[in-house]
Amino acid sequence: MSTEVHRRRRKAPRGRSATPHWLARLPYLFVLGGVAGGLALCALHYFRKGSGLMAAALLLGALARLLLPESQLGMLAIRSRPVDVLTLVILGETVAFVALSVPPMNKTGLVLAGVFGVLIALAFLARTVKVVLAGRRDGPPAGTPGRPPR
């Protein structure tokens, strides 16, 4: 007769901070909303305005990461402060440069770019399906209860 010992994991005490938990997500939601709005504008054939909105959102995220304490940043605080700020500034400036340097397209160019984007999405989807089906065909990973280790 075997006996199993069940241990209870102690949870760390939850400290109450001065700011509500939803306020910590606000800068991240502003950046995410700005990028999503910029992508929507780009999809509606307002490339320059959409790219400008995305660049502004990324630069605003860099400014928020630089000035706000980590308790108010939510998911904007991933790595160290200098690395996060540098990454957001480089991304924002690159998007702004592309927005200002790409010449306007005519309707035919927009349609061709859209078709090319759809082809890339289909290729990515086919690759994903292939990887998923190959994983199912191989069975459970080694070391799981249903399969002996190799």
| Contact assessment for residue 140 and residue 147, using Cβ atoms and an 8 Å cutoff | yes
Query: Is the pLDDT confidence value at 105 over 70?
Result: no
Query: Is the pLDDT confidence value at 122 over 70?
Result: yes
CA distance 146 to 142: 9
| Contact assessment for residue 57 and residue 35, using Cβ atoms and an 8 Å cutoff | yes
List, for residues 3-55, the tens digit of each pLDDT value: 666 666 655 445 555 556 666 678 888 999 999 999 999 888 888 899 999 99
Written as six digits, the tokens of 16 are 């109450």
Written as six digits, the tokens of 45 are 């054939």
Query: Is the pLDDT confidence value at 119 over 80?
Result: yes
Highest mean pLDDT among 21-35, 46-60, 102-116, 118-132: 46-60
| Contact assessment for residue 95 and residue 51, using Cβ atoms and an 8 Å cutoff | yes
Please state the domain extents for the chain: 21-104, 105-150
List, for residues 56-85, the tens digit of each pLDDT value: 999 999 999 988 888 777 788 888 889 999
Written as six digits, the tokens of 28 are 């991240």
| Contact assessment for residue 84 and residue 77, using Cβ atoms and an 8 Å cutoff | yes
Q: Which amino acid is at 29?
A: L
Q: Which is more confident, 93 or 21?
A: 93
pTM confidence score? 0.58
